[in-house]
Amino acid sequence: MTATRSRQTAQSPAPPLPPFAPPARRTAPSGRPEKPYQVPKRLGAAVDALYTTRQTRLAIQAQVQKLAEREALLREHLIATLPKSDATGAAGKLARASITSKRVPQVEDWDKLYEHVRKTRDFSLLQRRLADAAVTERWDAGKEVPGVGHFTAIGVSVNKL
């Protein structure tokens, strides 16, 4: 059932835009419309393009990771510093920050929660997601998991020569 739902979702067309909304246009930094990427015709050139594109993305991701770490450090500093002062927040030249809080559910007794879900049939308390590793482990052991199908995900493996 899950595999069928995934395929149906993938094949479902996106809802059309209202007739009055112009289609979104991608623009280059110059302000002119961006040309769509042209895939190389030769397979070897396409492989090399995939490799260099992935390497570029990974380099940018490394920069993003460093920025995310700096952002987390600054966030932790503000969380630790602001409550100690009487201020409700702080402002710089570009932005204002204030501390927010919200209640986040955390399971303290899984057995009690599962029993409650079984009695009330209130499955909305749980997320509908399989633990891939657990299912694969059972399949590898020759066990079937009732109600679980599969589909084959196709990917591309690229390795530097």
Residue 98 within any structural domain of the chain: no
User: CA 5, 9, 14: angle at the middle one, nearest 5?
Assistant: 160
Residue 134, domain member (yes or no): no
| Cα-trace Rg, the chain | 25
In this predicted structure, the answer to whether residue 14 has a pLDDT above a threshold of 60 is no
Per-residue pLDDT of 126-159, as tens digits, reads 888 889 999 999 999 999 988 999 988 888 777 7
Average pLDDT over residues 104-131: 91
C-alpha span between 49 and 43 (Å, rounded): 10
Q: Which domain holds residue 53?
A: 41-90
pLDDT tens-digit series, residues 28-80: 777 788 888 999 999 999 999 999 999 999 999 999 999 999 999 999 898 88
Q: Is residue 136 part of a domain?
A: no
Predicted local distance difference test score (pLDDT) of residue 18: 54
Element spanning 138, H or E = helix 132-140
Residue 67 lies in a domain: yes
| Residue 36 is assigned to a structural domain of this protein | no
Q: Is the overall model pTM greater than 0.85, yes or no?
A: no
- DSSP per-residue codes, 66-119: HHHHHHHHHHHHHHHHGGGSS-SEEE-SS-EEE---------S-HHHHHHHHHH
Q: Which residues contact 60 (CB under 8 A, 6 or more apart)?
A: none
* pLDDT of 22 over the 90 cut: no
Is the pLDDT at 8 greater than 70? The verdict is no
pLDDT mean over 14-34: 65
For residue 13 the two structure tokens come to 């067309």
The count of domains in the chain is: 1
Tell whether the model's pLDDT for residue 101 goes beyond 50: yes
Is pLDDT above 80 for 110?
yes
Let me know if residue 49 belongs to a domain. Answer: yes
CA 116/CA 123 separation, integer angstroms = 10
Residue 140 and residue 160: Cα distance in Å, rounded? 31
